[in-house]
Amino acid sequence: MVASPQKDYITPEEYLQLELESDVKHEYIDGYAYAMAGANDSHVTVSLNLATLLRNHVRGSGCRVFISDMKVRIEKLNRYYYPDVMVTCDQRDRENTTDKKFPCLIVEVLSDSTEAFDRGDKFADYQILETLQEYVLINVKRQRVECFRRNNEGLWLLQSYTAQEQSFQLQSVNFEAEMNALYEDVVFP
């Protein structure tokens, strides 16, 4: 997300209209729309690889996989974000075609410009979503997947996966895949 917002406060309804008409995506925080920067090759490749693997896994289950053009809405905080990958298995999310409110899994692929926000305030905001079971951060500079999982007490526990593990798990959707499949076609610096 770019640091400077549009100058004037806008309502959520005005924001949604702006998104329909704009060539640039914006995230919405407390009445201000923030233009999103474009992604690089590795970022897009990892997002697509994961979305494809997840789509094949959940096919026929009633769960849906969405990529970076679908917004997640956090009503309690007056926020709209565009996660890189999101899965929802909640039937209530079929009622709205422009945003989802009940995801079980959200994935952000890290970039230099967004990493601090993805780890900090955005993660804190996502934790408000009662249906969210797992928040995943994927590094594109090296093979590293960080899975934050909500336990029965409501605490978020971290499990990290690296190239040494060779595979990773997303417990929220009962999914396991090889690290090499996630990072297929990615060239590391």
Q: Name the residue range of residue 110's domain.
A: 39-182
pTM for the model stands at 0.92
Residue 103 lies in a domain: yes
30 with 78, same domain?
no
- pLDDT the model gives residue 39: 81
Band of pLDDT at residue 67, cut at 50, 70 and 90: very high
72 with 165, same domain?
yes
24 with 55, same domain?
no
Q: How many domains does the chain have?
A: 2
Helix (H, G, I), strand (E, B) or coil at 4: coil
112 with 165, same domain?
yes
- Contact in structure between 68 and 83 (CB atoms under 8 Å): yes
162 with 72, same domain?
yes
CATH code of the domain containing 72: 3.90.1570.10
133 with 176, same domain?
yes
Q: Is the pLDDT of residue 68 over 70?
A: yes
Residue 169 lies in a domain: yes
Please write the tens of the pLDDT for every residue from 21-62.
888 889 999 899 988 877 889 999 999 999 999 999 999 999
Per-residue pLDDT averaged across 90-94, rounded? 97
